Amino acid sequence: MDGVSVVVVAPGQGSQTPGFLEPWIAVPEYAEHLAALSAAAGVDLVTHGTVSDADTIRDTAVAQPLIVAASLVALGGILNGSDARRGALAGIAGHSVGELAAAAGAGIVSEHDAMRLVAARGAAMADAAGRARTGMSAVVGGDEADLLAKLDEHGLHPANFNGGGQIVVAGELTGLAALAADPPAGARVIPLQVAGAFHTRWMGSAVDELRAVAAGVEIHDPTLTIWTNRTGRPVTSGAEYVDLLVGQVASPVRWDLTMESFAALGVTGLVELAPAGALVGLAKRGLKGVPTVAVKTPDDLVAARDLIDQDGAA
């Protein structure tokens, strides 16, 4: 397509690492922004993003607000108050919990309400995860049809269709162990350090709890193009997007379809918000040749702005 097509993407759970917010806290404006988001969520994100250990920030109730807050701080740093730069974006999307950062970035909900929602989401999913011995594993390679047949055999479910030959599966730990012992031909099964079977029927109670909180949030139609994880397609109604976001807690993430939408759009660049890395990695396999920027620290903001501004001037 002619012109510019830079998209911003917000990562999901598992992208956090101990101390990853230290470089951001060192900059007063970002520290202030993070403190406001922390207050909205009712979670001490400054402590968790700087000194908490890996086990602490793996807790779903901590990890989810931490990731969304980091993405919002990074987005604020990229845009830096520039309406022109925001207007140059082709759109925004989030992977799993990253959909809440995307919702705020697109103007569907305020940042304050996004943090309220993610705090409720994380707590509800942590509670649901505590009701059964479940987990998740990434399956890389192999034939998708063979894998889906194996999942049925072991009582497992696909949770994230990530594209690039990667599908995350979820279910009871016994089923995941059986899959790892007898994987589909050509596939590797990699256990993930998460506390439950997210994006499956085991999260039904979390959907109900999040829907109740979402009912009290002010919702607007998006002012940026935004894609849903449910189908990978753009959504123009803010109310519909929030409804899909709530239900998505117990349904698979179709990031593969989201990347297909990016490809159909003819994206010319992709910027991943903090804590970045995972989605850029998927893009390098699913959107080959498209320039990417992973915003991990404030030092990466210049490259992100340059990518957007350069394409914006095209």
Confidence (pLDDT) at 311: 60
pTM value surpassing 0.85: yes
The 10 Å Cβ neighbour count of residue 57 is 19
Confidence (pLDDT) at 47: 96
The domains found in the chain, sorted by start residue, are 6-129+200-312 (3.40.366.10), 134-191 (3.30.70.250)
Confidence (pLDDT) at 164: 84
% of the chain at pLDDT higher than 90 = 93
Compute the distance between CA of residue 157 and CA of residue 309 in angstroms, rounded to an integer: 42
pLDDT surpasses 80 at 185: yes
Count CA within 13 A, CB hemisphere, residue 68.
Answer: 35
Q: What does the pLDDT look like over 284-293, one tens digit per residue?
A: 989 999 999 9
Q: What is the mean pLDDT of residues 280-301?
A: 95
Q: What is the mean pLDDT of residues 153-160?
A: 97
pLDDT surpasses 80 at 254: yes
Count CA within 13 A, CB hemisphere, residue 192.
Answer: 24
Q: What does the pLDDT look like over 1-32, one tens digit per residue?
A: 445 589 999 999 988 999 999 999 999 999 99
% of the chain at pLDDT higher than 70 = 97
Q: What is the mean pLDDT of residues 296-302?
A: 98
In 3D space, the residue among 282, 284, 304 whose CA is nearest the CA of residue 295 turns out to be 304
Q: Which residues contact 310 (CB under 8 A, 6 or more apart)?
A: none
Q: Token match 């931490």: residue?
A: 66
Q: Which of 1-15, 27-41, 223-237 has the lowest mean pLDDT?
A: 1-15
Confidence (pLDDT) at 1: 40
Mean pLDDT across the chain: 95
Q: What is the mean pLDDT of residues 219-236?
A: 97
Structure token digits, residue 215: 């009912």
Confidence at 269, pLDDT banded by 50, 70, 90: very high
Q: What is the mean pLDDT of residues 107-113?
A: 98
**Cβ–Cβ under 8 Å, residues 206 and 128:** yes
Active-site positions read: 96, 199
